[in-house]
Homo-oligomer: A and B are copies of this chain.
Amino acid sequence: MSQQRHGSTPGEAGAVPAFPDLPEATIARLPEYLRALHHLHDGGSDTVSSEGLATAAGVNSAKLRKDLSHLGSYGTRGVGYDVVLLIDQIEYILGLDQHRAVCLVGVGNLGHALAGYDGFASRGFRIVALFDADDARVGEQINGLTVRHIDELSRLAGEEAIAIGVIATPASAAQAVADDLVAAGVTSILNFAPCVLSVPANVDVRKVDLAIELQILSFHEHRKASLTALPGGFAGAGDQEAVGS
């Protein structure tokens, strides 16, 4: 869905290049397919039908087939998809065959958990550095990494190419950190701070706001509650509808 905008591709007409420009919606689902495929692989499956994989990934089978068709014909009619082949293919498209270095800025409550989160390492992402602006936290050891001061970020960038930066700071510090990351050559940012970041067009930003998810659920709770309430009449508590004229 609408994450922050990223650079539109120039209208270059590549004829089925090594990189088909997949619909954004498809890209967002590929990791889900990948997870389901790994699960099937662990369960001993060699092949899987679109119906089976769709169920495992929680989507419609037609959608899944169309998604996969975008990255080429890797299925066999009458049989299904080769699990291993499809895993390799999706991992290639997602660029997971290359281990991307991730750095994490902000080792507070959330950042601390992210630094130790198994789900990153188990899917090929290696956190190579932790940063914080708080001197009290600098030097702390987390999961085998030492927290460094944010000012050292630019120096680290010279030593190791960092592709992805994760921001887990308070909102007030996030923009400055983003600027630092961009200056250090980072071109992808995962932002957990509840604020809008301004970055150059060539930098991708994805935002995860935990509270927003709860608020969306809250809306649905509110909606469901208003439905179970008696349908006829009584417009509930919110009677602050000032009638204009």
Contact = CB atoms under 8 A, between A and B. Distances in A.
Contacts of A209: 31-32, 119
A4 B58 contact: yes
A19 to B, nearest CB: 5
A109 B100 contact: no
Contacts of A120: 210-211, 214
Interface string A50-88: 000000111100000000000010000000000000001
B215 A123 contact: yes
Interface residues of A, number: 95
Contacts of A190: 213-214, 217
Given A117-B110, A188-B220, A206-B217, A18 B226 contact: yes
A204 to B, nearest CB: 5
Contacts of A109: 113, 116-118
A58 to B, nearest CB: 4
Interface of A: 1-2, 4, 6-7, 9-10, 12, 18-19, 21, 25, 27-28, 30-32, 34-36, 56-59, 72, 88, 92-96, 98, 100, 102, 109-110, 112-114, 116-120, 122-123, 125, 163-164, 175, 187-190, 194-196, 198-202, 204, 206, 208-227, 230-231, 235-241, 243, 245
17 contacts: A1-B2, A18-B226, A19-B226, A28-B216, A35-B195, A93-B222, A94-B222, A100-B221, A112-B113, A113-B113, A114-B210, A120-B211, A163-B221, A188-B218, A199-B240, A200-B240, A206-B217
